[in-house]
Structure 1
């Protein structure tokens, strides 16, 4: 469902550009695809809300005043506590049923899909570059204490090369190659004499910026080392040569959460297992072609064989 949604979001409906050509979207089947996807998502989100609404009656502990509260409340539970689709005036904030669904959908599409896509690209690039894979694994395992069974979040804080791998992955494969469109509120003249009138819709190509040879040496190669040796380039919007999360007031509010999630998850995968391609295939032959869409996924699925480092 969510793959179809991101695919649809990356298409260009004729009616959005030439309203008189709206019939083309109907004739091509695009309108039917949108309606079908909407109905599937709506049913799914309704089920999520109902499951949490029913579960909220259990797993409660006394709060000391005779009332009750749910232990370990999650994101959906908190949203439901702010309205549950009914305005009873008790909270001072009302979220309608559609509001709740929209927020949950934003979290899934804006966070889950982009993070999982970036993680897949990181693993693909590491498998394709065995030396980088070995170096990242050795760093993570040393930070965790050699024979430690698990890697902790504070261990990940001590890893420099792993963070460089994340940066290089986001440079080559930003999860959203075209950032969310913007509209200029006033006339702007950029360096070089480029005039952008007020009211212009601007689409920033983060993918092209990350591969610009004027900013990056060997831009098509995977070289995490470029971010070491005192390099201060960051991906949180301060350096315009690397903006996978956008920049400024309209930058992604979840950039910090995404960075931590990517680092910790990748650290666990590298710490717990060695990785190989099926059939003894060499990493250098791995296809890393991209598929177009709102989120850029690998054209072919990444299939890896996990080998426990304690198996032998």
Structure 2
């Protein structure tokens, strides 16, 4: 049950919340994402999962969120044999922790690492987040990669897209980006904002 709720639900909810907080603090990114969604839906229907391949900027927002706010900050593994890494001997059966949070903010890897800029993923191509590139592997890598990666990459952008499309969001001032420690990285303060509908009549769920 813990795996079901923490790995399958809590992490996706945390990622959506961090993504939305970044969008509120970066209204130009929100505006650009909304324009992309409106161009696909033509403002006459609600965004659907089948639209995700046509929303590269939205997918870049999700990747940028996973870079800055990996839901699981530490990746735990056990070495299967003696290894030598950068001059350090790692004994067999050692418990290893990979700091994904730190890697996503490393200035040796990322330019202006603390800036929320989804455009970097457009400029550098469609950098995969499923463990093929060691500088960005929020779901782990190898044979023990997160089995829920495909589900998360459908749930997070589709829910985020619907929230962007259907509402304007009002907040008082700048949203705090303070983190709370834990096995996952939730927000230290709840994200409180007021939704303002963008449509007087809800668009059709299905395409016309």
User: What is the TM-score of this pair, normalised by structure 2?
Assistant: 0.92
Structure 1 residue 161 and structure 2 residue 57: aligned? yes
Structure 1 residue 152 and structure 2 residue 48: aligned? yes
CA drift of 1:257 comes to 0.8
Alignment match, 2:91: 197
Structure 1 residue 187 and structure 2 residue 82: aligned? yes
Mapping for residues 1-312 of structure 1, pairs under 5 Å: 104-144=1-41, 146-179=42-75, 181-190=76-85, 192-277=86-171, 281-282=172-173, 285-311=174-200
* Conserved? CA contact 1:114–1:175, under 8 Å: yes
Task: Return the structure number with greater helix share.
Answer: 1
What per-residue deviation string (whole Å, max 9, x for no partner) do you get for residues 92-115 of structure 1? xxxxxxxxxxxx432222110000
CA drift of 1:311 comes to 4.0
What per-residue deviation string (whole Å, max 9, x for no partner) do you get for residues 152-181 of structure 1? 2222220010000000000000001012x2
CA drift of 1:238 comes to 0.4
Hey, what's the Cα distance between the residues in 2 that align with 1:207 and 1:230? 21
CA drift of 1:219 comes to 0.5
Hey, what's the Cα distance between the residues in 2 that align with 1:240 and 1:286? 30
Hey, what's the Cα distance between the residues in 1 that align with 2:83 and 2:132? 20
Gaps of 5+ in 2: 202-208
RCO higher in structure (CA 8 A, sep ≥6): 2
User: What is the TM-score of this pair, normalised by structure 1?
Assistant: 0.62
Alignment match, 1:62: none
Hey, what's the Cα distance between the residues in 1 that align with 2:111 and 2:124? 16
Query: Post-superposition, which runs of at least 4 consecutive aligned residues in structure 1 deviate over 6 A?
Result: none
What per-residue deviation string (whole Å, max 9, x for no partner) do you get for residues 202-221 of structure 1? 01111011111111000111
RMSD: 1.4
Aligned residues, how many?
201
What per-residue deviation string (whole Å, max 9, x for no partner) do you get for residues 243-266 of structure 1? 111110111011111111111111
* Conserved? CA contact 1:140–1:156, under 8 Å: no
Gaps of 5+ in 1: 1-103
